[in-house]
Amino acid sequence: MTTETGASERELRVLERIERARRRRPKVREERVTLAHGAGGKASQTLVEAVFVDAFRDPRLAELADGATLEVGAERMVLTTDSYVISPLFFPGGDIGDLAVNGTVNDLAVCGARPLYLSAGFILEEGFPIDDLRRVAASMAAAAARAGVAVVTGDTKVVQRGKGDGCYVNTAGVGVLERADALGAAAVRPGDAVLVSGPIGEHGVTIMLARGELDIEADLRSDTAPLHEPIAALLDAGGVRMLRDATRGGVATVLNEMARAAETGIVVDEDAVPVRPVVNGACELLGIDPLYVACEGRFVAVVDGARADAALAALRAHPLGESAAVVGRVVDDPPGLVLLRTSFGGTRVVDMLVGDPLPRIC
Closest residue by Cα to residue 172 from 80, 308, 43: 80
Q: How many CA atoms lie within 13 A of 139 on its CB side?
A: 22
**Minimum CB distance to its own copies smaller for 15 or for 137:** 137
Binding pattern for the stretch 265-304 against its own copies, x by CB under 8 A and - elsewhere: ----------------------------------------
In contact, 297 and 110? CB cutoff 8 Å: no
Q: Is position 38 an interface residue for its own copies (rule: CB under 8 A)?
A: yes
**Minimum CB distance to its own copies smaller for 111 or for 273:** 111
Closest residue by Cα to residue 139 from 60, 131, 343: 131
**Minimum CB distance to its own copies smaller for 30 or for 236:** 30
Q: Is position 56 an interface residue for its own copies (rule: CB under 8 A)?
A: yes
Contacts (CB under 8 A) with its own copies, residues 10-29: 28
Calculated CA dihedral for residues 241, 246, 248, 250, nearest 10 degrees: 110
Q: Is position 154 an interface residue for its own copies (rule: CB under 8 A)?
A: yes
Binding pattern for the stretch 132-151 against its own copies, x by CB under 8 A and - elsewhere: -xx--xx-xx--x-----xx
Q: Is position 253 an interface residue for its own copies (rule: CB under 8 A)?
A: no
Q: Is position 7 an interface residue for its own copies (rule: CB under 8 A)?
A: no
Q: Is position 110 an interface residue for its own copies (rule: CB under 8 A)?
A: no
Q: Please select the residue that binds its own copies; options are 5, 25, 130, 287, rule is CB under 8 A.
A: 130
Q: Is position 179 an interface residue for its own copies (rule: CB under 8 A)?
A: no
Q: Is position 182 an interface residue for its own copies (rule: CB under 8 A)?
A: no
CB of 305 to its own copies, least distance (A): 30
Distance CA 297, CA 351 (A): 22
Cis status, amide bond into 115, omega within 30 of 0? no
209 CB-contact burial (10 Å; exposed 0-12 / middle 13-18 / buried 19+):
buried
CB of 285 to its own copies, least distance (A): 23
Q: Please select the residue that binds its own copies; options are 2, 16, 19, 51, rule is CB under 8 A.
A: 51
Q: Is position 84 an interface residue for its own copies (rule: CB under 8 A)?
A: yes
Q: Please select the residue that binds its own copies; options are 3, 19, 148, 163, rule is CB under 8 A.
A: 163
Distance CA 231, CA 221 (A): 22
Q: Please select the residue that binds its own copies; options are 156, 280, 342, 347, rule is CB under 8 A.
A: 156
Distance CA 26, CA 43 (A): 11
Closest residue by Cα to residue 137 from 103, 107, 100: 100
Q: Is position 124 an interface residue for its own copies (rule: CB under 8 A)?
A: yes
Q: Which residues on neighbouring strands pair with residue 118, listed in sequence order? A: 151, 173
Give Cβ neighbours of residue 59 (< 8 Å, ≥ 6 apart).
11, 14, 15, 18
Q: Is position 210 an interface residue for its own copies (rule: CB under 8 A)?
A: no
